[in-house]
A = this chain, B = another copy of it.
């Protein structure tokens, strides 16, 4: 089972404009530092956080228990002008896990409720031996040569966003998730998806919008191990020049 945590800033929208709109640069710094901070804390326990919408972040948190979550919440309260609430859920698919996590938190009150503050709502935690994470690390073939070094920075960013949109659209139907992790890289928590299914999605996208993608798949007991194995898979493809779709999926572990 994969365990996912939703991290939500409490009542953030109203705060950003009270008493008048706060400097956009300050908000951008706050959001990025908060993400870096929770990432740092979850990662010491081998979790992995995705910035998602920044005010709502999703994390793979297998192996991380209730006390660990409470500790992170307290630490944020002590160092930021805002507080965070969290929901946690474990399920067979990543989509279901984050849905349970979201539901648990929504049941405690709305994101902009001034009553709800620093809630930790646990629907379910993955048990020791049930911990299982599968992620695919996906990137764009030869992005430097075909985009970064020849197109304008925004046009490249547009193509990366286009790839993201198509990946999200297709993966969500399979119970998988997809997060942009910088550059031309995406990470998809995808427990339950076969290599064949992922390969088919990549081929479809190449056919539909002409963006060639490759994926390394990794599996482990926690996010860190799974992500590392996915990286190794991707490196193996890169070493082999990723010319052949049958090689596109490299099994990490």
Q: Chain A: residues with CB nearer than 8 A to chain B? A: 6, 8, 12-13, 17, 20-33, 35-37, 39-45, 47-49, 51-56, 58, 71, 74-75, 77-81, 95, 98-99, 101-103, 106, 110-112, 144, 148-158, 160-162, 164-165, 168-169, 172, 177, 181-184, 187, 224, 227-228, 231-232, 234-235
Would you call B152 and A53 a contact (CB within 8 A)?
no
A39 cross-chain contacts in B, Cβ below 8 A: 25, 28-29, 32
Copy tally for this chain in the complex stands at: 4
- When C-beta atoms are compared, the residue in chain B nearest to A226 turns out to be B24
Question: 3 closest A-B pairs (Cβ-Cβ)?
Answer: A25-B43, A21-B231, A54-B182
> CA A52 – CA B228 in complex, angstroms?
24
> CA A182 – CA B111 in complex, angstroms?
15
Would you call A158 and B149 a contact (CB within 8 A)?
no
In the complex, how many angstroms separate the beta carbon of A158 from the nearest chain B beta carbon? 5
Would you call B26 and A183 a contact (CB within 8 A)?
no
In the complex, how many angstroms separate the beta carbon of A237 from the nearest chain B beta carbon? 12
A45 cross-chain contacts in B, Cβ below 8 A: 44
Would you call A152 and B33 a contact (CB within 8 A)?
no
Contact of A78 among B51, B81, B148, B168 (CB under 8 A): B81
